[in-house]
Amino acid sequence: MAPPVSDYVDANGVRLHYIRKGAGLPLLLLHGWPEYCRVWEPVIDRLDDRFDLVAPDLRGFGDSDKPERGPSATAAEQVHAADLHALLSSLGIGRFGIVAHDVGVFPAQLLADREPQRVVGLFFFDCPNPGIRDRWRAPSQLIESWHLYFNQMPWAADLLGTSRQACRLFIGHFLRHWSGRKDAFDPVLDQWVDNFLKPGNLQGGFNWYISRHAARVRMMSGERTEIRRITVPTCVRWGDQDPATPVAWADRLGDFFSDLDVASFPGAGHFPHFEFPDRAANEIGRFFGQRG
């Protein structure tokens, strides 16, 4: 089976890396943390006969540029959305669908809100949303949310970069603990560690948490902001074994999406797309097959 093509494009002032494979309706695949574009390869291999699959490394991740090598608040969803808009333009992609997880859910919603005529559908694995409110800091959740704050420490990347073992313990913890299938990432763990040990990649991922912190605090404090409901058809499949973002947090999604299909993804944790790629690909194919 041929691997996806790996390439680069200059977009919005940064050099973005992406992998691409297939033909048909373009689907933009957006990763979360601690991930990078290769997390989508199992799904790509199962859908490349039907879709044109483009999986970029967000700025700060993978082989994309790290414009800020130190702690920085310049990697919020607005910046990622602008990067992705420029990427799509550079690749000559008109109408497209988006499949996203974790971090990728945020710029995906901005793209859909700004250009609903181009985005044929949204498919999210888990979906952080403003309806979570102060549940991030509920006593029962605190043990799972510590990374939101650790990842903002100005010394965190330096500490974890002191040795391969330190990085492996840290990244491996989240890939195993957050998974319903605890062994799902074992065959690629060293590949993941290699990725995050590349210069700037630990801090590049952490800068998302720094950039998102103020908005999360406002949400947890109950501050209400005007949020328009997204009209693009949206499908959410939420792992029912996810300790990081529990499936119960899907209860308010209807407040933010007007055309919504939401259901649990049995047996999966935080990474349904990687833990169970056959089922994940079937769900994606079904949803976008109706819109192609």
Enumerate the active-site residues. 102, 209, 270
Closest CA to 146 of 244, 74, 222: 244
**CB burial readout 97-111, b (16+ within 10 A) else e:** bbbbbbbbbbbbbbb
Q: Tell me the C-alpha distance between 174 and 19, whole Å.
A: 24
Q: Judge whether 260 and 253 are in contact, CB under 8 Å.
A: yes
